[in-house]
Copies of this chain bind each other. A is one copy, B any other.
Amino acid sequence: MSASERRQAPPAVAVSTVVFALHPPAGAFVGDDTGEFVEDPDGDAVTIWIPLVRRTRPPFEGTWALPGGPIEWNETLIDTALRNLLAAVGQEPGYLEQLYSFGGLERSAEAQRVVTIAYWALYSAHEDAESGAQAGSSDQNVAWFSADSLPRLAFDHADIVDYALQRLRLKTSYSTVAYRFLGEVFTLGQLRQVHEAVLGQRVDPANFRRQVLAQGHLVDTGETQKGTPFRPARLYRFRAGPDHEQRSTP
């Protein structure tokens, strides 16, 4: 195909996923906003982390992009998202939902036009600890970046990340999706840190405690946190109800 034939061909369709986690998996490569690896990321700051995959061919060769790729003929949309997440992160997410489809004319420049169906996913700290996954440790083309300092992204993937962050913030404000970042049991302080990371601002601990307990989604396990030098905090679990959030592809 010539460049102009390629430009006028029917658009292809792909899936890309914005993954959010509270920290990179153990052993994962971590990058900074220049796209370079960093040795010792600041482990104290509570922030949202996103894994990216470095492109190994044109267009945008060498640039970081969202995990994703074309849909195989025998794969549903959500199966395509899961396959690419397994390859990039090494395990299934705790939450996966379709986000939006992006079909702008300029998104893939000279190459054949691609319409991308974007998903967003959450990984919990718990899943990481249980599986002991060393995601990305052997593949220098997968690294985790703080959502606050992403490198330049391929295509319109920066727009897709912004859109997913908006959805995450909105959904955190009205649903129970924030629990998906945590393990099966957690302290109110940990849950507050999730909200602080998502909203990008401090949350008053006393107000947060009162509001979250009033919502009735939490069950006091009767247990307390182990291995802390401070007064041990009470452990809660989420009162599981019908799962309204994870929606399979019809």
Chain A residues near B (Cβ < 8 Å):
7-13, 70-71, 73-77, 98, 100-105, 113, 115, 117, 156, 159-160, 163, 249-250
Q: How many angstroms between the C-alpha atoms of A11 and B70 in the bound complex?
A: 9
Q: How many angstroms between the C-alpha atoms of A159 and B247 in the bound complex?
A: 14
- Identical chains in the assembly: 2
Closest B residue by C-beta to A112? B73
Is B104 a contact of A250 with CB atoms below 8 Å?
Answer: yes
Q: How many angstroms between the C-alpha atoms of A212 and B73 in the bound complex?
A: 49
Closest B residue by C-beta to A114? B13
A9 and B102 in contact, given A115-B117, A250-B156 (Cβ under 8 angstroms): no
The 4 closest A-B pairs by CB, nearest first: A77-B103, A13-B13, A8-B73, A101-B117
Is A249 a contact of B102 with CB atoms below 8 Å?
Answer: yes
Is B104 a contact of A74 with CB atoms below 8 Å?
Answer: no
Contact partner of A163 among B7, B76, B250, CB < 8 A? B250
Is A71 a contact of B103 with CB atoms below 8 Å?
Answer: yes
Is B73 a contact of A113 with CB atoms below 8 Å?
Answer: yes
Q: How many angstroms between the C-alpha atoms of A77 and B115 in the bound complex?
A: 9
Closest B residue by C-beta to A71? B11
Q: How many angstroms between the C-alpha atoms of A100 and B102 in the bound complex?
A: 12
- The interface residues of chain B lying within 8 Å CB-to-CB of A156 are 250
Is A105 a contact of B71 with CB atoms below 8 Å?
Answer: no
Some 11 contacts from A to B, beta carbons below 8 A apart, are A9-B73, A10-B12, A10-B13, A10-B71, A11-B73, A12-B13, A13-B103, A13-B115, A77-B103, A77-B115, A159-B250
Is B105 a contact of A76 with CB atoms below 8 Å?
Answer: yes
- The interface residues of chain B lying within 8 Å CB-to-CB of A117 are 101, 103, 115, 117
Is A73 a contact of B10 with CB atoms below 8 Å?
Answer: yes
Q: How many angstroms between the C-alpha atoms of A13 and B102 in the bound complex?
A: 12
Q: How many angstroms between the C-alpha atoms of A10 and B70 in the bound complex?
A: 8
A70 to chain B, nearest CB (A): 6
Q: How many angstroms between the C-alpha atoms of A156 and B159 in the bound complex?
A: 30
